[in-house]
Structure formats: C-alpha cells, structure tokens
Structure 1
Amino acid sequence: MYLRECFIENVGPISKLDISLSLDDSGNPKPLILVGKNGTGKTILLSYILDALAELAKKKFTDIVIGQHLNYGQFLKVVSDGDIYSLSGGSLSFLEFSDADNKFYYVEKLGGVDINRYSEKVKNKLKLVNSISINEPDDKGVEGDEKQIETFFQTGAVCFFPSSRHERPHWLNYRAVEDRPLFSNYEKISGELRKPLIVERAAKNNQQWLMDVLLDSLVDLEFVEQTDTPFLTSVKRHPHSNHSKKELKMGIQNVEQLLRKVIEDEKARLVLNYRNHEYGRIAISLGNGVIVPSLNHLSAGQALLFNLFATIIRYADMAEIQKSINLSEIKGIILIDEIDAHLHTDLQYKVLPQLVKLFPKVQFIVTSHSPLFLLGMEREFSADGIQILEMPTGKQITTERFEEFQKSFEFYRQTKSFEDAVEKKILEGSKPLVLTEGKTDVEYIKTALELLGNQDLLEKLEIDEIGKEGKDGGDTNLNAAKKILVNNQSHFTRKVLLLYDCDTGKKREDFDSIFIRCIPKNTENNKAKKGIENLFPVELFEDRFYENIPKISDHGKEYTIPKFNKIKFCEYICQKRREKGDFLKFEELLIPIIEKFLEI
C-alpha cells in the first residue's frame, strides 16, 4: 500500500493542494521530499498522512490510540475549526492509498463545506467513504479492505518520526530526570499492532531487538529440525526455520551494514559483551581497533540516524524474519519531519540518501530544509527518481535552484580534505619539517643537499610539498597551511618551516614552532624570475623546455604563447644532468635558511 493521491483544501497555510505521488518503472515508490519556508504546511501534510494511516489501522488493531479497546478511542489528529484556512468557511481533505489490487480512502471535512462546488472527480471519491456524512459539518472516515489493512500493518514498516525525535545520551543520569519509555516490551496480544505510529525514541527497543537478531545468527538448526524426537514435542518449529545458517546471519549483517554507513567506517562491526557488562551487551568495534562501549555512545546525529532506519527493519521483522534478511522486500510508509535535523553535511549529502536507497519498496515522505540532502538524493536516485514538492502549493521543483550549494559544498569538502592532509602530515612524524610550494621544489632541494655534500641535513629533517587536491601546490596552499598551523599551535608541537618562493615577497615570521621564510631572489637570472627555478643559471633554460600553447584572441586571431615545462626541466636537472655547479645559488641562498631552522 502506498499513498497515491492527496487533496487538501483550506487547512492552515494550505489553500489548495492537489498532488499525485509517483512510482518508478519497477513499481516502487519514489521518495517524496517536501520543501518550503517554515510555516508553509509541510508538517501539516505529514500529520494528515499519519492520521489517515492511524484511522486505517484502527479498523483492525486496538492499540493505535489510548482508550480504543474500551470503544472510546480518540482521533490521533485533533479535529479543530482552528485548523481551517482563515479566509474560508470550511476545509476538506481526501487521501487515496492503493496496492496492486485495492484502494483505501481517507476523508476529513470541517466547517461549512459545500460538496456541490467540487469537481465530479472529488465528489465521486467522497462517495466511496461510506462512513462520511455529507450533511455533518465535522466528520472523518476511512474505507478499505480490512484484511489487506491487517496484512499491510502487520508485515510492513509504518510510522512517523517527528522533528522532536531524540535518543537519551549515554552520559545522562536517568535517576536524576523523569524518563518515560516510549513503549514497553510486552507479549503479543491478539488484535494489537505493537508498533507505535509515532516514534520519538527507539534505542532501547532496538537494542532489545538486536539481541534477538544476534541470537538468530546462532540458532542450532540441527537441534531445531529434530521435530520427531520425543523429548522435543514441546518445541514448535518456526515457519521460517527452513532458513540456512548463512541466511540467518544476514539479519545482523544488514544491521551492521546500516551501522557502517551511519558512522562511515566500512570495517565496523557489532560485538557481544558479557551479560554483566557496565554499558550493555552490544558494543561496536571500529576498523581502527577502537571499541565503542555501546550503541548509546554514538553521537546524537548518528544515534538518531541508526535508530530511525533500525526501527524500519524491526517493524517489518516483527511479523516476518525474512524482512531483516532481505531489506529490499520491506514495504511500508515512513514519514519523517525534518529528516536532516542534527546531521552533519556529509551525512545529509552522502549517507542519508544511501540509507533511503536500502529500502526500495518503502515509501519515504519527508520534509527537509537542506539543499545538500536534495542534491544527495538526486545524485543517488537521479533527477527522475525523486519528487520534490514546494509547499504550500505542492508545485513540483528540481534541484537546479540549489546548484550553487553544490559548488559551495565541493569547495568545503576540498578545504576539509586539505586541512586533514596538513594535520596528518604534521602529526605523522617528529623530525623538523620543511614544506614547499610544489613537488619539483622538494626534488630540487633534496638533490642540492646530496650534490653539495649536505647529506647530514637530509637525515635530520623531512622535506615535503603542500597542495590541495587537483592543484599543483603554490603559495596559496602554504598560506592555507600557515593559517591552520598558527591557529592550532597547541595541537602541533613539531617544528615546521614554510618555505616560500622568491616571487611571493613573503615576510619573515616566527611563531612557537612555525617559521615562515622566503627564498632570496637570484638577481643573475633574468629569465626565470618566478619559482625555485630562479636559483638556476640562466643558460640552462633552453628552448626545448618550452611548449607553444595555441590561443585565440577575443577577436578571433590565433597565436601561441610559450609555457615552461617544469616537470621536464626538473627531471633533466635532477635525474639526467645532476651537476653540482647548477646548485651553487642553492648553497648561497637556500641552504643557510634550512641550517638556521634546524638550530632554532
């Protein structure tokens, strides 16, 4: 069963909303993302979908709302004239769900609704809900095959994750605060669903369920299958006990796959503790060998994300163990308000769309304020694989308006990658470190020290280049590295020399362990005036090291400009020629800088 049609008129900020929800070529639901400013009705739309699901579930289950088993069950969503659009006298809402063979309907009308002013399509659909009285001002009702409703809710995952969802942190003293569990672990009673439609906290229940999944992977199949043994007459064979050992292990492997995506560690796995362990029975072993004491020790964002998708598996698994083994077979409708809440940009852009994709037969209807989440969903599903509706009109939009966020995010990721590379380089060694503008600078300095008899200096320090991904070094990267190092001096104790080329004109600066120096200019070389190549004799710069690059002027005239091939020149000087006399200016102008750096 999936939501296929939604008509809402005169509710809150929504004057009229008439939308259809799409399926892909395989018949699976496309994720629906609701966007818009605060106060445009995104959560209101989710509340109507949730209310429709609750009213359908109430036809077969007695634990959907409080008091239902005493025959005075309340509506999940309040029926109130205060929800009516202020410029109208009444409101009307109609939702249609369908599966392969059946349709299911929900209607709510408030205030003075003149049914005659609606189209024949709407009027005909209202007639399908027999429990609705056309003459009553306020009414609500649903219609649908009760057997199909029972099967859908029992075997599928159906729930709403509100924006108020949260998990209790591991550091909180529960005895110091009021702690009301969301739902308790009780035995199944006929007619009860045991799957709350609103889920704010789920960690405790998910952890109890995980123990069952772990035990499933340890089932003694030979013992269970001996049904004809007299001593085992009380052992009832589970209808799914024909699963192989490998299949039963898939349940926990799927949960671990979910966990790996959430914490972005492909080698993470769940481990079983002793029963009296301080933090509980289930811990996490990370790829680097670190042990996370429990699932409660995940960050707030990680815990929310893990428990949200673990709940989907648990809900489907409660009636059929096969669902935890094959996630692609789980069906249902999942509503999530502010799906991007509490999540880092990488989780929004990369991880969250991947998690949604694990459940192709689940209809996700979510709200979001994150352009990065939308861009990530398009990247994962393609532009045609998702629906984005702008509230309150329901206008279908694309991610084109958010492309600038994509560029900004890519720049951010490159910057973050650069910062991580700088930090790693500084922390991975203890020798004094010389950072240069480019790869050829490193080659020249090492060759100069070798040929000029300064091998001892090479053994005392490390020389490397600094550069961002996709760029061949440059003083821009040294400037960025300087900012990182100077702003975090307490974090870095290693001595670092940032060595700039002569053309930058960089002034000398000294910090605690960070030193800024600029190579003096070789005034005898009037051909190579930039870069470390300025230190070489001018006669080395032969025509063979220059390439003519074709260009076209603004007025269409073709011309060429010479471009110096730095790599070719470096290979010739350092690998083929290797003449000590070529490096005399290094000895005069550059090596003294390194010697003084080591003396500091």
Structure 2
Amino acid sequence: MNQHFIRNIEVKKVRHHKNFSIHIDDTYPKHVIFTGKNGSGKTSLLEGVKSFLELFDQYSIPALSEWRDMVRYNEKSLNEADPSNVYLTDQFRNQITFFSDQIDQFCKKVELDIKNAHEIHHLLEEGKFLIAYFNATRTSSMLTPNGVEKVSLTKKYPIQRGAGDVFIKYLVDLKTQAMFARQEGDLDTANRLDEWFSYIEYNLKYIFENDDLTLHFDYKNYNFLILEPNKEPYDLTRLSSGFSSIFSILAELIMRMESSRTNLYDVEGIVIIDEIEAHLHVSLQKKIFKFLTDFFPKVQFIISTHSPFVLSSVNDAIIYDLYEKESYEDFSNYSYEAIVEDFLGVDQYSSIVKDNLTEYENLINKSSSLTQEEEEKVQKISTYLDNAPDAHSNELKLKKSYIDLKRILREDTI
C-alpha cells in the first residue's frame, strides 16, 4: 500500500477557476482523471499541480510551514512597530514580500494535501519516490549509442524529463552485460537480465498489439530493432507519433526507477500526464491507462483526457469534470456515446446525420398526407439513417425508432 499520495487538491486560482477543493481519498491512492469541454482549464490545472510538486525538488513541507510562520510573524511585528521607524517597518515589509513570493512560487495556483508529505523530499533524494510531468506534445527522443556505453543511473531527476533519452544506451549496456556474464559462467546474472528483456518484450507486444513482435539486438550497430512480420525492421527512434508518445512516458519512468526498484517497477510516485490519449489509435486509447497503472503499480497518476475510451477504461479513479465541477468514480458502464455528449460536451452525431434526422421527423410529423415525392424522401432518409456511420449508436436507433413508432400509431388511427 502506498504511503505517499495526493488526498486533496485545493484550487486557489487557475485561470477562471477559484477557491474550490477536489477530494480524492484519505486512505487509498486513487488516480485522478480531469475531463471537460475544451477550454475548461485541464492543462492549466495540471500545470498548477506540477508547480506545487516542484516544491519538493529543493524544499519540503516543513519549509513551506516555516515561510508561512515568517509571514505571520513579520505581519504581527509590522502592526506592532512604531510607524515612524521607517528602517524597521521596511525590514518587516521586505520579509513579508520575500516569504510571500516563496509561497506563491509553489502554491499560488494549487495546493495539495499529500499523505506523509514531510517525507517526500528525503525520499526523492534517495530515489525512493519520483515526480514526473509529461505535456501533451511529448515525443521520445532516445539517443543511439556509437558503442557500448556504461549508463550511470541517478537517483533523482527533474520533474520534466531527464532520464528516458538514454533508454537505448541502457538496453545495449544490459544486453552486453548479459552476454559477458554468460560467457564468464555467471548464469544468475545472465538469466536475470534475460528475464528483464523478456518482460520488456512482452509489454512491447501488448503496446504494439502484435504477439509476433520481437525486440532484436543489432549487435553490429549497437542498437535494438523491433521486428514484426511483413514489416521492415525499425528502431525505437523511428516510432509513429502515437507510439513515440507512449515510449516517452514508459522509457522515462523505467529509467527513473531502475536504481531503486525491486523485481517490479514498484517505486512510489506521482506522475502527471496531459492528454494521455495524444496521437493514439482508438484501440490503444482503450488500454493505455490500465497498461501504465499495471506496469507502475505504486504510481498515482494525475491525467487529463478528451477520450471516452480512456474514461471508460478504469474503475478505480476519481474522474473530475472541470467544466461542471463534478466528481465521478466509475464510467466503465457508460456507453462511449453518452460520455462524449454528457461529459465531454461534444455532439456525437455529424451535422449531416442530424439534418437528416430532423428532416425525417418533420416529414413524419406532417399532419397532411405525404406526397409521393415526400414518401420517397422518407424512404431515402430512413435507409440513410439505418446505414449511417453513426447508426451503431443506441441513442440514434432509439430516436429513429421513436419517430417510426409515431408514424405507425398515426396510421393506425386513420
């Protein structure tokens, strides 16, 4: 069970949002998914969360408490000081400004209530906790080695990237270690490293949705190739935008955990991802969030999304509609169409389908008999609606069935 996670988000001022709280959970590290209409402030809120977490890079929660104590102390001293003593009152005002600026640097937009927050700065220094932020335009930028290079793992990294670029170098280093270990008879080390590569390959099969995929060591060029049947081999620097987006997250978090993990990638942390579905095909949107939460079981993810497929893929997260300021806990039973209209504020039907549906209803509702031309029009529109790209939608089927039923009932009364 995680001992360090966000329990509450206090929004002070993020764009047009002011003075409200988002309660998550006091005992269990639930993930948070921000959704809402375009322009509702999802990205700005995530940046506010990031700003608060940057406190732990250099300071700690006790430092924040001390700054607030100093503001109160100097305000009290200023109120009690002799106004004619300009030097002294200026000193108090300068101190108030200095410590207020320190507080605002991290807490002006958002303040987080984190369980055992006083321990996080120390855990970050030891590599036992991580904080990472991925923006919506992320792509992987991995470096290809010119030879075998020993990769030095660091325990602490800045919030915005810093480790994933050397992922290929790290793979080459480990594969070389495995080969030498086997050559020297150190089978325990060789087998352990081989199992690690098998685990990575297994997860690549899942991400690329291809059970026949293999991760191949190109020893002549000190690189790794992805091999898929009926495709040209390609390396990790030539991924599509969708896979590059995933790999920027996966490689970064793997590298940050390598120095401290046990058998699994089980280091605690808080990871922020803006638009987690960016550039992903629908099939990957359905599985990306669950993949990350399974791969990194002790990370609390704070994400934003426009995707109904992401929203319906989990049942253990707080889903917060920033436009309506409403919390939900489980969208797994909602249809994609309902999520699109009700929670993302997007009309699920194309304008052409809507226009045809309106015309169909107007023709059916005509009190007078339809002309032959209108009857032909009704039949034509009915056929179109039954075969439209939106026709799989239960809501569309229900609406058309209701219109048809009204027509049948009217004809029965004639």
For the aligned pair, the TM-score class normalised by the smaller chain equals 0.5 to 0.7
Specify whether residues 250 and 311 from structure 1 end up closer, same or farther in structure 2 by C-alpha distance, changes over 3 A only: farther
In structure 1, what is the equivalent of residue 157 of structure 2?
195
- 1:9 counterpart residue number: 12
**Per-residue deviation at 1:359?**
1.7
Match for residue 155 of structure 1 among 89, 104, 128: 128
Change (3 A) 1:149 1:221: farther
The one-letter code of the counterpart of 1:388 is I
1:48 aligns with 2:48: yes
Name the residue aligned to 2:319: 388
1:294-309 alignment, distance < 5 Å:
294-309=235-250
SS state of the match for residue 271, structure 1? strand
SS at 2:302 equivalent = strand
Distance, in Å, in 2 between the alignment partners of 1:304 and 1:394 is 29
CA distance in 2, matches of 1:400, 1:145: 32
- Tell me, in whole angstroms, the C-alpha distance in 1 between the residues paired with 2:279 and 2:319: 21
Q: Which amino acid counterpart does residue 12 of structure 1 have in structure 2?
A: R
Deviation at 1:186, TM superposition (A): 8.6
Aligned residue type for 1:251: W
The alignment partner of 2:237 has SS state of helix
- The residue number in structure 2 matching 1:331 is 268
Q: Secondary structure at the match of 2:37?
A: coil
For the residue of structure 1 that corresponds to 2:271, the secondary structure is strand
Is the aligned partner of 1:284 residue 2:216?
Answer: no
- How much has 1:401 moved relative to structure 2? 9.6
Within the candidate set 317, 335, 341, 1:403 is matched to 335
Using the TM superposition, give the Cα deviation of residue 22 of structure 1 relative to its aligned residue in structure 2, in angstroms. Answer: 2.7
Shift of 1:281: 1.1
Unaligned runs of 5+ in 2: 76-95, 107-113, 144-149, 341-382, 388-414
- Give the C-alpha shift of residue 36 in structure 1: 1.4
State the alpha-carbon separation in 2 of the partners of residues 224 and 145 from structure 1.
Answer: 46
CA deviations 1:338-369 (Å, max 9, x no partner) are 11111111110134423332222110000011
Query: Structure 1 residues 187, 160: CA separation in 2 closer, same or farther (over 3 Å shift)?
Result: same
Distance 1:245 1:275, change over 3 A: closer
Find the aligned partners of 1:39 and 1:132 in 2 and give their Cα distance: 38
After superposition, the Cα gap between the structure-2 partners of 1:311 and 1:219, relative to the gap in structure 1 and judged at 3 Å, is farther
Cα contact 2:67–2:102 (8 A) shared by 1? no
**1:392: how far off?**
5.3
Q: For 1:169 and 1:223, how far apart are their aligned partners in 2? A: 31
Amino acid at match of 1:166: T
Three-state SS of the structure 1 residue aligned to 2:132 is strand
Structure 1 residue 20: Cα displacement: 2.4
Q: Is the 8 A contact 1:316 1:330 kept in 2?
A: yes
In structure 1, what is the equivalent of residue 302 of structure 2? 365
Equivalent in 191, 202, 210 of residue 171 of structure 2: 210
Alignment of 1:181-580 (within 5 A): 195-199=157-161, 204-218=165-179, 220=181, 245-276=190-221, 281-286=223-228, 288=229, 290-317=231-258, 319-320=259-260, 322-323=261-262, 325-327=263-265, 329-377=266-314, 382=315, 385-391=316-322, 394-397=325-328, 398-399=330-331, 403-405=335-337
What's 1:229 paired with?
none
Match of 1:20 among 17, 20, 23: 23
**Which stretches in structure 1 are left out of the alignment for 5+ residues?**
61-103, 108-126, 171-184, 226-241, 409-475, 481-600
Partners of 1:106 and 1:369 lie apart in 2 by: 37
1:145/1:11 Cα in 2 relative to 1: closer, same or farther (>3 Å)?
closer
Q: Aligned in 2, Cα 1:407/1:370: closer, same or farther, shift over 3 Å? A: closer
Contact kept? 2:268, 2:298, Cα under 8 Å: yes
Structure 1 residues 204 and 392: alpha-carbon distance in aligned structure 2, compared to 1, 3 A threshold:
same
Matched, 1:164 2:137: yes
1:129 to 1:361, Cα distance in 2 relative to 1, 3 A? farther
1:121-176: per-residue Cα shift (whole Å, max 9, x none)? xxxxxx57656624436433489887652323513332100112124699xxxxxx
1:282 counterpart SS class: strand
Hey, what's the Cα distance between the residues in 1 that align with 2:180 and 2:287?
Answer: 36
Fraction of identical pairs, as percent: 22
What residue number does 1:133 align with? 71
Higher relative contact order (CA 8 A, sep 6+): 2
Relative to structure 1, is the Cα distance of residues 346 and 132 closer, same or farther in structure 2, using a 3 angstrom cutoff?
farther
Indicate conservation of the 8 Å contact 2:31/2:317, yes or no. yes
For the 8 Å contact 1:33–1:366, the answer to whether it is kept is yes
Query: Aligned partners of 2:117 and 2:319: how far apart in 1?
Result: 31
Task: State how far apart, in whole Å, the 1-side matches of 2:168 and 2:62 are.
Answer: 36
AA at the equivalent of 1:375: S
Q: Take 2:338 and 2:237, find their aligned partners in 1: how far apart are those partners?
A: 33
Structure 1 pair 131–169 and aligned structure 2 pair: CA distance change class (3 A): same
How many Å separate the matches in 2 of 1:364 and 1:32? 6
1:214-233: per-residue Cα shift (whole Å, max 9, x none)?
Answer: 345446279598xxxxxxxx
Gap change, CA 1:255 and 1:193, over 3 Å in 2: same
Are the aligned partners of 1:43 and 1:337 in contact in 2 as well (CA < 8 Å)?
A: yes
Find the aligned partners of 1:340 and 1:259 in 2 and give their Cα distance.
18
Structure 1 59/244 Cα, relative in aligned 2: closer, same or farther at 3 Å? same
Q: In 2, distance between residues paired with 1:57 and 1:273?
A: 38
Q: Count matched residues.
A: 298
Residues 139 and 248 of structure 2 are in contact (CA less than 8 Å); yes or no, is this contact kept in structure 1?
no
Deviations 1:250-282 (A, max 9, x none): 322232233212211123221111343xxx611
- Partner SS, residue 373 of structure 1: helix
Q: Could you tell me how far 1:34 is from its partner in structure 2?
A: 0.5
Work out the CA distance in 2 between the residues paired with 1:157 and 1:214: 26
- Determine if contact 1:161/1:335 at 8 Å carries over to the other structure: yes
Q: Which residue of 2 aligns with 1:110?
A: none
Q: 1:249 to 1:289 in 2, by over 3 A?
A: farther
How far apart are residue 393 of structure 1 and its match? 6.3
Q: TM-score, normalised by structure 1?
A: 0.43
Q: SS in structure 2 opposite 1:250?
A: helix
- 1:206 is paired with a residue of what secondary structure? helix
Q: Does 1:59 align with 2:26?
A: no
CA contact (8 A) 1:157 1:315 kept: yes
Q: How much does 1:48 deviate? A: 2.4
Distance 2:160 2:168 in 1: 18
Check 1:36–1:400 CA distance in 2 against 1; reply closer, same or farther (3 A cut). same
User: Distance between the aligned counterparts of 2:167 and 2:131, measured in 1?
Assistant: 16
* 1:70-85 equivalent positions in 2, closer than 5 A: none
